[in-house]
Amino acid sequence: MRNVWEFASTQRIVFGPGSINQLTEIVAELHAKSVFIITDPGIKKAGILDKVTAALDGSDLKIEIFADAQAEPSIEVALGCYEFAKSKLDTDVIIGLGGGSAIDLAKVTALLMAHGGNPRDYFGEFKVPGPVAPMIAIPTTAGTGSEVTSVAVVTDTENQLKVGISDNYLRPTVALLDPELTVGLPPYVTACTGIDALSHAIEAYTAKPFSSVAATGKILFQGSQPVSDALAIQAIELIAENLVLAVRQGTNLEARSNMLLASMLAGMAFSNAGTALSHALGYPIGGLVHSPHGEVTGLMMPYVMDFNASVVPDKMIKIAQAFGVQTTQMSKHDAAKSAGEAILQLLKDIGLPTNLNQIGIKEENLDEIGRKTLGIERLVRNNPRVPTEKDLIELVRKAY
């Protein structure tokens, strides 16, 4: 039994419409003379990069830009970005601008700038030997929460695997969240990233209690604990109230602001408590189809919640109530089950798939998905209900 829990977070959070205009001041407080901005072609094309560089106008900073970040960046791209940074200037501060992939690439680059080597040297948990280069994370999507998390994901193309580097040293120095930068996000991307944030919040909230996680020694994903619970339920409530609105009214700044706040809160929660079965299922499913990560984990959430409802009924009831379900006249069993039904309806409301066959999974893939998921022990052990291989195969078949 584990008796002690910890909570770690980003050192500083700056949040609000127009907060990008504080960037020069923030960089100055980090005593930087040069910055290296890492972003992707879409952010550059959308004019968001120009807004960031404009916020730095008038400073004496040397600015270099790497605008070739890709979704789920490969080891090769990470090494290329690192070499580019080394060749251009003595980088004082790295700015990650974009979705989770661009910020993850910034994290890996900051790591290599400080300690050298290859990303493979740091795969797993607690492999980072010390602080990384100072980093400012500026998210342009409300989804991954990478601006406050301890995880960076890269793709090992040689072995065809997505691999994580997980360490509290990877948390950005500053998270700068300006909701105005998310206003141009298309409805489908808004839906996928928003449901990703919801998956983070629900799995952190319903994770096995920290005292019951079957692991010895130091672990990053500790299970649910009081601080992560408070952050997660707040994120769930914000998403319940704002995701449909953000998808259908993309220029609604209040909805965008609330979604960006929810994504950040969910990131703070799950990077301490951890994610669980929906994310574990996402690995083998993601290896078979090219659907966005959020779409996959969101699709699986209602079925995982139904599976877990009998073990964490009180928390499931609070989730249902956050989505406006009137549970007072229901039995406890039915009220707990209604949480998964609410998420299933949300997926329909925002136009995302609700069955695996809709994203290209074949019936012959189902048993393999169940078997492979059981092997992702770091996430499965966090699930409140311990699954067997048979349970997982049945769950996947229900989702098909």
pTM exceeds 0.85: yes
Of 128, 148, 127, which Cα lies nearest the Cα of 137? 148
Percentage above 90 pLDDT, the chain: 86
Percentage above 70 pLDDT, the chain: 99
Mean residue pLDDT of the chain comes to: 94
pLDDT in the model for residue 1: 75
Residue 205 in contact with residue 236, Cβ under 8 Å? yes
Segment 14-51, tens digit of pLDDT? 999 999 999 999 999 999 999 999 999 999 999 999 99
3-state helix, strand, coil in the chain (%, to 5): 55, 10, 35
Domain-wise residue ranges, the chain: 12-182, 187-399
Segment 187-234, tens digit of pLDDT? 999 999 999 999 999 999 999 999 999 888 889 999 999 999 999 999
Confidence of residue 90 (pLDDT cuts 50, 70, 90): confident
- Distance (Å, rounded) from C-alpha 160 to C-alpha 117? 21
Q: Which residues contact 191 (CB under 8 A, 6 or more apart)?
A: 243, 247, 350, 351, 352
Given CATH 3.40.50.1970, say whether it is the number of domain 12-182. yes
Average pLDDT score over residue span 112-120: 95
88, containing H or E segment: helix 75-88
Task: Specify the DSSP class assigned to residue 330.
Answer: S
pLDDT in the model for residue 215: 83
CATH architecture for segment(s) 187-399? Up-down Bundle (1.20)
Residue 178 in contact with residue 19, Cβ under 8 Å? yes
pLDDT in the model for residue 157: 78
